[in-house]
Copies of this chain bind each other. A is one copy, B any other.
Amino acid sequence: MFQIPRGTRDFTSKDMEKRKYVEQTMRRTFQNFGYKEIQTPTFENLELFTKKSGEEIINEIYDFKDKGGRKLALRPELTAPVIRFYVEKLQMEPKPLKLFYFGNCYRYDRPQKGRYREFTQAGCELIGTDNPEALAELIALAYTIIKNTGLKKINLKIGNLKILQTIFKEYNISKEQQNYITPLIDKKEYNELKKALYDYDKPDEIVKDLIDLLKTPDIEKIGKIIKNSKDAEKELEKLIEITNFLKKSFKIENCKIELGIVRGLDYYTGIVFELDAPDLGAEKQICGGGAYKLVSLFGGKETPTAGFAIGFDRTIVALDQEKKSFPENRIDYYVIPIDDTLIGKSLEITQKLRLKGYSSDIDLMRRGVGKALKYANSIDAKNSIIIGPEEIEKKCLTIKNMESGEQKTIKINDLIK
């Protein structure tokens, strides 16, 4: 027997009902905000990803040579391919470009709960503007998408890397030290962070203040510490403007400024944000994004860019945890001919029902009525129709509601009208 590759998944029809429902809900929300869907290939030239993320990324991705010797990689994420697409073909389009996409991504990682080697991302890029209202709209879109899937408990946190870097500077934390502690901040490993700061000979008070600044939503406190940097003050103003738009225009009350939001990636330039599903524990982050720089790195003319990625699989897990129910694709009618001579006529009736928009199925096994009814039950058909010679003669059908057991007889012509 063959097995599925390690770390990958088969999706049953029950899984797919959920996944397609959530995908379609997300798609409609993107479109509702004026975003347009695009798609890029499943693999790219390896260099695209090493250019963006450094050579170390090779350890975490599926890279391979094709038969022509080209170094390729299954995409680990979707922003690099989309910006490659933009630089290659879309630079002349009117700005802003609002692009969204769904795609499978791949990472060579030890499989563990909620982490797969093939996983699905939904995401978008806003190309051409990073005005406060543009970023507010982007963040509101992420929030609305997750809300529209039906997820109830979500937290929205917004940070700013430029402000954080100014704070680091104020506390004389070197670039090298920043590189070490940023991942600790990202993972909220505050004990490790404290240890590192003590190692850097920072006094108790500064360690306390710094960690407090990473958590506080208090804008005045943040303002005080950065008052020597015009740039950082501008960023703080922008951050305030964005949260005001989110609260007043988009009516999103539960958004919080949190400078400890730093995202894992160093290509972000200022505003960053995350959406958490708090019930998911360690894997609670279901969406992350921000303003970033990538266009010029890929050979294009620099223009402001921002975007976000939603962990599609985690969103589904979060919905499952909230016991969200999804609409089911149930068969409307299951048709059972009582003997083989009635198959042709039964197929015809089934097909007529389908043409009227009723999803319909017919017994294809030539089994007895009892067994066929049992099957109809097992596939969760709403109604069954048993067809015998009498029905054909009288042009009538007896429809049995599979839940209530109720039966009614109806003219064939009435049913398919």
A residues with CB within 8 A of B: 1-6, 8-13, 15-17, 19-20, 27, 31-34, 36-45, 47-48, 51, 59, 62, 64-68, 70, 72, 74, 84-85, 87-90, 94-96, 98-99, 104, 106, 108, 118, 126, 128-129, 131, 133-134, 136-137, 140, 144, 244-245, 248-251, 298-300, 329, 331, 334, 343-345, 347-348, 351, 354, 357-362, 364-366, 374-375, 378-379
Point out the residue from B31, B299, B365 that lies within 8 Å of A131, measured CB to CB. Answer: B365
User: Would A347 and B379 count as touching, CB distance under 8 A?
Assistant: no
Point out the residue from B94, B137, B249 that lies within 8 Å of A364, measured CB to CB. Answer: B137
Distance to closest chain B CB from A84 (angstroms): 5
User: Would A34 and B348 count as touching, CB distance under 8 A?
Assistant: no
* Complex Cα gap A71–B8 (Å): 15
User: Would A2 and B361 count as touching, CB distance under 8 A?
Assistant: no
User: Would B136 and A347 count as touching, CB distance under 8 A?
Assistant: yes
Q: Which residues of B contact A248 (CB under 8 A)?
A: 344, 348
User: Would A34 and B360 count as touching, CB distance under 8 A?
Assistant: yes
User: Would A1 and B245 count as touching, CB distance under 8 A?
Assistant: no
Distance to closest chain B CB from A241 (angstroms): 9
Distance to closest chain B CB from A79 (angstroms): 13
Considering the complex of A and B, which 8 residue pairs feature the smallest CB-CB distances, nearest first? Answer: A34-B361, A64-B64, A13-B36, A8-B41, A249-B347, A1-B299, A134-B364, A11-B39
User: Would A354 and B32 count as touching, CB distance under 8 A?
Assistant: yes
**6 pairs of residues in contact across A and B, judged by CB atoms under 8 Å:** A10-B39, A11-B40, A12-B89, A32-B359, A42-B118, A134-B364
Query: Given the interface contacts A1-B300, A245-B344, A299-B1, does A38 sit within 8 Å of B13 by beta carbon?
Result: yes
* Complex Cα gap A85–B11 (Å): 9
User: Would B5 and A41 count as touching, CB distance under 8 A?
Assistant: yes
* Complex Cα gap A145–B4 (Å): 30
Distance to closest chain B CB from A128 (angstroms): 7
Distance to closest chain B CB from A104 (angstroms): 6
* Complex Cα gap A20–B24 (Å): 11
